[in-house]
A and B are shown apart, each in its own frame.
Chain A
Amino acid sequence: MSNAVEPQTNPTSQGKQKKPFDLFQFLYKYGTIITIVALIIIFYIANPLFLQPSNIINILRSISIVTIIAIGLTISLSVNGFDLSIGSVASLSNAVVISMFIWYSQSTVIAISTAILAALVIGALNAFLIVKVRIPDMLLTLAMMFIVQGIALTYTRGATISENMIMADGNYATGEISNAFGMLGKVPWIIIIMLITVVVVHIFLTYTKHGRYMYVIGGNQEAARLSGIPVKKYKVIAYLLSAFFASIGGIVLASRVMTAEINAGGPYLMDAVAAAFIGLSVLGAGKPNAFGTFVGACLIGILANGLVMLSVPYYAMDIVKGTVFALALALTYYKMK
């Protein structure tokens, strides 16, 4: 093509630099944290019990599973991917780990390893179909979400697995969930697992070569490839890690409820997506990051807890969560404009 002398589309910045105070930028950076502080104050005024240590622990416990799953999603987002199958993978891991105890009387280690392994198989399948077959991530993981949901249901034969359940042959199930496993879902372990996940992934994404490569791939895949970064390998790793953390989330969930309900992990998908997207803007990071995701999960958790205390019915909670999510998206996309 002949390049006529046209204006080079110069970077848009120059005009922006000298503004004394940019309210939007400020809100973008600190909006989430200000909102959290404001919510805490409001809920405290409405009900002083809100800031009781027991309630704070309650909130942290309530967000721990969402956070763990959302951290996995954050990793897939960091390579500019997306993983909608995390909720179903959590359900599957939940079903597998419980069934290993109750149906097959396995040890804790074997039960947990099997659940993680099942999730990694799904992660590998996701990675293969996205990286090799080149199906758009959002669509593929949507399909995978249904498939895995179906697998989990089929595996449990559409029933809830619990101790002393009646088996197909009419006898009671004899397997028991080990005490050690039962600890995972209780305070303080559930909170410790969450915090370790957040810190480790934050270090991984921010301070290691691998994390840097993932962000570079997420920023510009072609530039990353031409810089000699093995793009495919890191995308595969991202989807494996995403499935891995979804599985951890499912296992912790299993320990918390000690049963495998139908599609138990499903509801965590939306909360995880919301947490990760709210986290994009925290402290102006502008990209998926583990700390931000944790803050996002906190915001959702505080909101849910506070509203329950204010006697807002639980069934109206999705309206609030959805609205917060939409606001976070508005903030992100308005900035990109």
Chain B
Amino acid sequence: MIYMAPTELKMENISISFPGVKALDEVDFKMETGSVHALIGANGAGKSTLMKVLSGAYSHYTGEILIDDKIAKIRSPKDAKKHGIQIVYQEVDTALIPYLTVGENIMLNNLVQDMDKKQWVSYSSIHQKATGILQKLDIQVSSKQLVSSLTLAEKQMVLIARAISKECKFLILDEPTAPLSQGETDKLFQIVRQLQEQNVGIIFISHRLVELFDICDEITVMRNGKFISRDTIKSISINQIVEKMLGKKLDEQFPKMEKIIGETVLTVSHLSDNKKVKDVSFTAKTGEIIGLAGLVGAGKTEICKALFGATEKVKGTITYKDKTFKNKNPKQAVARRFAFVPEERRKEGILVSENVRINLTSSHLKHFLQLGSFLNFKKEATVAKEMVGKLDVKTPNIETKLENLSGGNQQKIAIGKWLIADADVYIFDEPTKGVDVGSKKDIFTLISGLAKEGKTIIYASSELVEIIGITDRAYVIYDGQIAKELQTNKTTEQELLYYSTGGQ
């Protein structure tokens, strides 16, 4: 191997603010080409924001980026590419054109930028160059294949190939392994090592702490938009990383309510969806809040949807109060008094262009009928007003469209519609996502209140603080399976994170 002098990348005092939040606060970051550097932090720590700064996605940051001690002005993606910084985002499909070939996708930048006055495309040279790059990385994909026929892992590799089709000194991989299987991950790591030998610096973002030890040389931990530490991977353990990620506890905002936990009423056996969820079994009691803890992408949402009948071809059974059944579709689930507050609120939970009243009554309309199928507007209005008062929703009136309410108030409506439906089993999927602190507290109180009434609650969240704060018992989900069952009062965030990241 020819020795190539490493290039050093430094980011100094990087700060960036968005309306209402300081996303990065004087962050430092340093690495060299020819090494693999892990960038770690909990959800919202600022990893992705920092990498977006580096790749030129934001222009309004303060601080400096230096390459070999020379100031590099990076304010646009074009600037970043000029300095040899390339990024592969996690959502590979947004960056690929499915009905073009692998070769055309790899050479897309060249096709667009280097054409200038040329009018004719030379496909033979495109495929030749693309094949060269694929061979260099030892990727077993034909340049002439259509991208739409590739697997997710292969698409990722095509994007990596595109990134290095131009000059590439630093390659950012944003959570590349999250959707990959073990075999695919191994293959990806081979490619990463190849690149490392070719003197490329790789910044590796991942939630799977275990795999960092296979591939990384150094590790930078961030928390709440701040730089916490930089270590060599050899000098640190998983537990130490976890401690640094979590830092001090947040303020107490969880209600403490006296409640009675009753008999086991809900038994879920061998739930699978043929995709993400693999043989999940658990139980829940009346008045109990069960946590499904796990990182983003661990399969919590998929478990919730499978329970509620929102995915097709679900295997496994649900037993509730001596009746064993399957929820084949959400309609059946609702009829069996299940309620589901989905994670993607605007996409799945509410009708943004409809008003508060219509949203609140939509899942229990049969309660508001008269003379057969005619709606009783008066009753609707009364109940909606009551619910708005009970949940303390900040809205001018019940005829206000939801698009005019804040995220927290929208979420209260999304929950409120199931309170009107008066279900027995409540499934919450990331109910505090995009919700302000004040509303968060209201939502916790609400959920605890439901448990106190004797409802059974399944609470899925990647915010481990919340799992500790609100649940009675937690199942840690890793890769679509239950990795561990824990009593909440006998566990810690550290332990939850340890199992969430694949610890055994």
Contact = CB atoms under 8 A, between A and B. Distances in A.
Contacts of B48: 1-4
Interface in A1-36: 1-8, 10-14, 17
A12 B403 contact: yes
Interface string B404-419: 1111001000000100
Nearest to A204: B373
B350 A220 contact: yes
Interface string B34-78: 000000010111111110100000000000000000000000000
Given A1-B48, A229-B362, A215 B354 contact: yes
B95 to A, nearest CB: 14
A244 B280 CA distance: 47
Contact of B405 (A11, A212, A230, A286): A11
B18 A6 contact: yes
Nearest to B22: A5
Chain A contact surface mostly: loop
A219 B349 CA distance: 11
B207 interface: yes
A212 B18 contact: no
Given A207-B374, A210-B373, A10 B334 contact: no
Given A10-B406, A226-B349, A2 B296 contact: yes
Nearest to A7: B18
A213 interface: yes
A210 B366 CA distance: 11
B43 A2 contact: yes
B374 A1 contact: no
Contacts of A226: 308, 310, 330, 340, 342, 348-349
Nearest to B225: A5
Nearest to B178: A1
A121 B205 CA distance: 56
A208 B375 CA distance: 5
Interface in A189-248: 207-210, 212-213, 215-216, 219-220, 222-230
Given A4-B44, A11-B406, A222-B348, A228 B335 contact: yes
Contacts of A3: 43-44, 48, 296
Contacts of B406: 10-11
Contact of B358 (A7, A12, A216): A216
Given A209-B366, A226-B348, A229-B362, A216 B354 contact: yes
Contact of A228 (B333, B358, B369): B333
Interface in B325-372: 329-331, 333-335, 340, 342, 347-354, 358, 362-363, 365-366, 369
A286 B406 CA distance: 21
A89 B484 CA distance: 60
A225 B330 contact: yes
Interface in B202-243: 205, 207, 224-225
A5 B21 contact: yes
A129 to B, nearest CB: 19
B32 interface: no
A182 B224 CA distance: 78
A228 B330 contact: yes
Contact of B407 (A8, A224, A227): A8
Given A3-B43, A3-B48, A5-B21, A225 B349 contact: no
B41 A2 contact: yes
Given A10-B407, A11-B406, A222-B347, A5 B46 contact: yes
Contact of A230 (B331, B369, B407): B331
Given A2-B175, A4-B23, A4-B49, A227 B330 contact: yes
Interface residues of B, number: 63
Contacts of A4: 23, 44-50, 52
Contact of A220 (B296, B334, B352): B352
B247 interface: no
Contacts of A220: 347-348, 350-352
B365 A212 contact: yes
B84 to A, nearest CB: 23
Contacts of A215: 354, 358
A7 B21 contact: yes
Given A2-B48, A3-B43, A208-B374, A219 B353 contact: yes
Contacts of A287: 353
A324 B410 CA distance: 37
A213 B18 contact: no
Nearest to B418: A227
Contact of B373 (A8, A209, A225): A209
A235 to B, nearest CB: 14
Contacts of A213: 365
Q: Which of A6, A10, A226, A287 has the most CB of B within 10 A?
A: A226
B375 A212 contact: yes
A145 B407 CA distance: 43
A212 B225 CA distance: 45
Given A212-B365, A227-B334, A2 B45 contact: yes
Nearest to B375: A207
Given A2-B43, A5-B46, A11-B405, A209 B365 contact: yes
B340 A209 contact: no
Interface string B269-310: 000000000000000000000000000110000000000101
Contacts of B369: 209
Q: Which of B224, B310, B352, B363 has the most CB of A within 10 A?
A: B363
B438 interface: no
A249 B366 CA distance: 33
Contacts of A5: 18, 21-23, 44, 46, 49, 224-225
B49 to A, nearest CB: 4
Nearest to B91: A1
B24 to A, nearest CB: 8
B231 to A, nearest CB: 20
A17 to B, nearest CB: 8
B20 interface: yes
B333 to A, nearest CB: 7
Contacts of A8: 407, 434
Contacts of B333: 228
B174 interface: yes
B330 A1 contact: no
A222 B49 CA distance: 30
A219 B402 CA distance: 12
Interface of B: 18-23, 41, 43-50, 52, 90-91, 174-175, 178, 205, 207, 224-225, 296-297, 308, 310, 329-331, 333-335, 340, 342, 347-354, 358, 362-363, 365-366, 369, 373-375, 402-407, 410, 417, 434
Interface of A: 1-8, 10-14, 17, 207-210, 212-213, 215-216, 219-220, 222-230, 286-287
15 contacts: A1-B174, A5-B22, A11-B352, A11-B403, A11-B404, A13-B403, A17-B404, A209-B369, A213-B365, A220-B348, A220-B352, A223-B348, A226-B330, A229-B362, A230-B331
Given A6-B49, A225-B310, 15 more contacts: A1-B174, A2-B45, A4-B23, A6-B23, A11-B402, A13-B403, A208-B374, A216-B362, A219-B351, A222-B348, A223-B349, A227-B330, A228-B363, A229-B331, A229-B362
User: Which are the 10 A-B pairs with shortest beta-carbon distances?
Assistant: A228-B334, A4-B49, A13-B404, A7-B18, A227-B363, A219-B351, A4-B48, A5-B23, A208-B373, A222-B348
